Amino acid sequence: MAGLPKNTILVAIFLGAAYYSQAQNDGNLESEAFRIKSIYETALQNGQSHTWLRDMASQVGHRLSGSKGAERAIAYTKNILDSLQLDTVWLQPCLVPRWTRGEKELVQIKDSPSFGSRNFHALALGNSIGTGPSGLEAEVIEVLHLDSLRAMPENAVRGKIVFFNRPLDETLINTGHAYGGAVDQRWAGPRIAAEKGAVAAVVRSMTTSLDTFPHTGSTEYSVVGPNIPAVAISTVDAEFLGDLLDHETVHLYIRTTCLMMDSVTSYNVIGQINGQDRSDEIILVGGHLDSWDVGHGAHDDGSGCVQSMEVMYLLRKTGYVPRRSIRCVLFMNEENGLAGAKAYSEISNKNGEFHLAAIESDAGGFRPLGFGCGAESSLQESYLKSVNSWWHLLEPYGLILSPGGGGADIGPLRTQGGMLFGMRVDSQRYFDYHHTHEDTIDKVHPRELKLGAAAMTALVTLIDTFASRIYE
């Protein structure tokens, strides 16, 4: 009996769906508002995204580019897209690096005069080389800014382990900005340390929390070398090491057995609903399918993937018939190479495609707060003005439009002259989990995830209804 009111509501929704699928695309504000409401209701009541993410966590696990997990993820998501009655589903090949972490990392203080020995919580940085099985040992110097490292005399760095220990700025409201202000240490630190003759780099984990979880992530090596092993340690360990260095000389022993192997062919997973009217114009929704090789990659970016698939599901479920072609793209290799994004944009450009809009979700499956909207600089103002004219339809859902948007995977599409949207979500909890063993399915709230999928779907239909290409 408890099911009865649910079914009643369901019938009402489908009657509604039938009504507005006739009325759709006419740009009538009332029918648009009704459609958006129905999209949200369908997402919250029937949305599949959290079920898919849970299945992906248990059946696929993490999915670093080139790994068996990535292969399973491709098969799993293609299978879902195949079930959604889209017009086309295909795999798009791309050549991805294949990096393996090897054995559990060892980062330890040996025989400190005041402390004895201690093991740190550590993860090798992605793409980094290993120390080899015998490890290395050297004195540690602490560096807070890359510029101070650059200014140091070479003999102060040569033969040392450089420890990058600048915390994220916790006073920033948006933790993404805090991350952006600190990640140079992880990204460029090891390379600059190597140029100065260091033998290894240790980086404080990129998180606003003080905890014992090490956060991995990419580091950028110089193509010509020299390259050195690079690891992240938890913020608790980084605080400890920083304090210890105030009082004594510290030697660290580091052992990693990471390996970069030959590149292999992998795939972007793509599904499309063809447009009825302007099928040559594409509205893309996407996230990235690869993850780091720890946790479930649940927020980063399993969430963006299942939300993008959910957009297709919701369009079908609510009976929406689009004018433009709506394409869901699950990009491979965002984390350590962007091979999928590069392959996608190259093929798209070669085929003369035009993406009127691309919407990326890659900030975690948290409560959506709005979208950033970006475009080529000469076009941005016109697009923003146009989008702003109908944005009030999304305001009842707490969504704010802000200038500037995009994302790593859709960035290369900017040159096609369309709009790039990045979904903005509440960022407070993201860096508790980002690139760690903790980024697991239990950290993703079903309703928050579904609200994001609904927001993306509503935006797709509004762009399809109201937006058009702006020519310079």
The residues that touch a copy of itself, with contacts defined as CB under 8 A, are: 1-6, 9, 40-41, 44-45, 142, 144, 165-167, 169-173, 175, 204, 208, 238-239, 242-243, 245-246, 367, 369, 397-398, 400, 426, 428-429, 445, 447-448, 451
Which neighbouring-strand residues pair with 203? 164, 232
CB-nearer residue toward a copy of itself: 67 or 235: 235
Q: How far is the CB of 135 from a copy of itself (least distance, A)?
A: 25
Check if the beta carbon of residue 407 is closer than 8 Å to that of residue 364.
Answer: no
What are the strands, taking DSSP E only, across 73-177? 88-100, 106-112, 116-119, 122-124, 136-143, 161-164
3-state helix, strand, coil in the chain (%, to 5): 40, 25, 35
Return the ∠ at Cα 288 (arms to 287 and 291), rounded to 5°: 140
Q: How far is the CB of 50 from a copy of itself (least distance, A)?
A: 12
CB-nearer residue toward a copy of itself: 209 or 272: 209
CB-nearer residue toward a copy of itself: 171 or 377: 171
Residue 382, token pair as written in the block:
């016109």
Q: How far is the CB of 144 from a copy of itself (least distance, A)?
A: 6
Q: How far is the CB of 441 from a copy of itself (least distance, A)?
A: 15
Which neighbouring-strand residues pair with 416? none
| Ramachandran class of 159: left when φ > 0, alpha when ψ lies in -120 to 50, beta otherwise | left
Residue 285, token pair as written in the block:
């929704």
CA 51 to chain centre: 20
CB-nearer residue toward a copy of itself: 299 or 429: 429
CB atoms within 10 A of CB 322: 23
CB-nearer residue toward a copy of itself: 164 or 253: 164
Reference 372, options 356, 358, 392, 382; nearest CA is 358
CB-nearer residue toward a copy of itself: 359 or 394: 394
Q: How far is the CB of 238 from a copy of itself (least distance, A)?
A: 7
CB-nearer residue toward a copy of itself: 4 or 15: 4
Q: How far is the CB of 246 from a copy of itself (least distance, A)?
A: 6
- Which of helix, strand or coil describes residue 454? helix
Q: How far is the CB of 1 from a copy of itself (least distance, A)?
A: 5
Q: Reply yes or no on whether 30 is catalytic.
A: no
Choose the catalytic residue: 32, 105, 281, 334: 334
Length reported for the chain:
472
Q: How far is the CB of 445 from a copy of itself (least distance, A)?
A: 6
CB-nearer residue toward a copy of itself: 47 or 304: 47
Check if the beta carbon of residue 194 is closer than 8 Å to that of residue 227.
Answer: yes
For residue 36, give Cα distances in angstroms to 56, 326, 457.
28, 17, 8
CA–CA separation, 197 and 18 (whole Å): 68
Residue 196, token pair as written in the block:
């100065």
Residue 29: what residue type? L
Check if the beta carbon of residue 261 is closer than 8 Å to that of residue 65.
Answer: no
CA–CA separation, 69 and 79 (whole Å): 15
Reference 309, options 338, 329, 325, 323; nearest CA is 329
Q: Tell me which residues are annotated as active site.
A: 334
